[in-house]
Amino acid sequence: MKSGKRVAGLFRNTGFILALAFAIGLSLPHGATATSPAVTPLLAVTMTLSVMGISPKVFLDFKRVSRPILVSLLLNYGVLTFSIIGLATLLIPDYELWAGFILLAAVPPAVAVIPFTYHLEGDVDFSLIGTIASYLAALVMIPVISISFLGVSLIQPEKLLITIGELIAIPLGISQILRRTGVAEKLDKYRGSIVNWCFFVVVYTIVGLNQAAFLEEPLTLLRMVIIAFASTFVIGEIVNRIARARGQDKPSRISLMLIGTRKNYGLAGAIALTIFSPRAAMPAAVAMIFAIGQFIWLTFRVKKMP
């Protein structure tokens, strides 16, 4: 009986589900071609479900929200974005992979920052305000960063804007409709499982489409791993130490570490698949695994944080 509950628990665990998707993508990649068209719709669903409990009224008190907004944008669209771009420029000679990192740098923080903050006993209000503000900023930042570094001819602005609309603007609108009609409350208990298994398909697809590259290009994989490790574990610890030196309390530092090290990997992968190629989505898949690894590590790390 206990073993059955443990197995069931594993299949509700985000880290296990994503690791399983990665493993199946490497070992049984042939179905990835069939699941590829489902990536964008599934990510639209995850975005809708992830933000449907958030009220826009949170932004009415400007004095309360101004600091979280400014600090979150500085960390995620300043420090993290340009760290990813700088490391990719130094380490990645392959243009498609480099483009994938540019797209990763351009997207907002993962919506998972909010539940992760709650789980780690961080400042949930700070993460909530900062994350939503970053998504609104992303409507401008994604095309600006993408076009600035990759060029109009390669990015195809009209295609990018359509993708942003499908994956950010429309889900934000639908989420508020679900919230106001009461449907959000009925879906709430299923939300975590639906989001996890949508991401399972996304990760499986990206890994499956790139199976040969993952297995046959160890040096390329190592370079991506270095960037993923630096942009999660290293930046997270730097943010923690600087914030502590500036007198920030533990809950605030937890929020800063999360919002300063997370990008929406699924969104970056979907844009890469839509605009470029499966290869350009590889950085998002590698970075996602390290982000989950860092979260697991943080569950132990925060207990020792003063």
CATH code for the domain in which residue 288 is found: 1.20.1530.20
pTM of the model: 0.84
- pLDDT (0 to 100) of residue 16: 82
CB atoms near residue 69 (< 10 Å) = 19
How does pLDDT run across 125-136, given as a tens digit for each residue?
Answer: 888 889 888 988
Q: Which domain holds residue 54?
A: 2-304
Q: What is the pLDDT of residues 52-68, one digit of tens each?
A: 777 777 667 777 788 99
From 166, 206, 171, 214, select the one nearest 35 (Cα to Cα): 206
CB 200, CB 17: distance < 8 Å: yes
Burial 286-303 (b: 16+ CB within 10 A, else e): bbbbbbbbbbeebeebbe
- Please choose, from the candidates 289, 256, 290, 287, the residue with its C-alpha nearest in 3D space to the C-alpha of residue 120: 256
What gap in Å lies between CA 285 and CA 202, rounded to an integer? Answer: 9
pLDDT of residue 6: 65
pLDDT tens digits for 74-111? 999 999 999 999 999 999 999 999 999 999 999 999 88
- Number of domains, the chain: 1
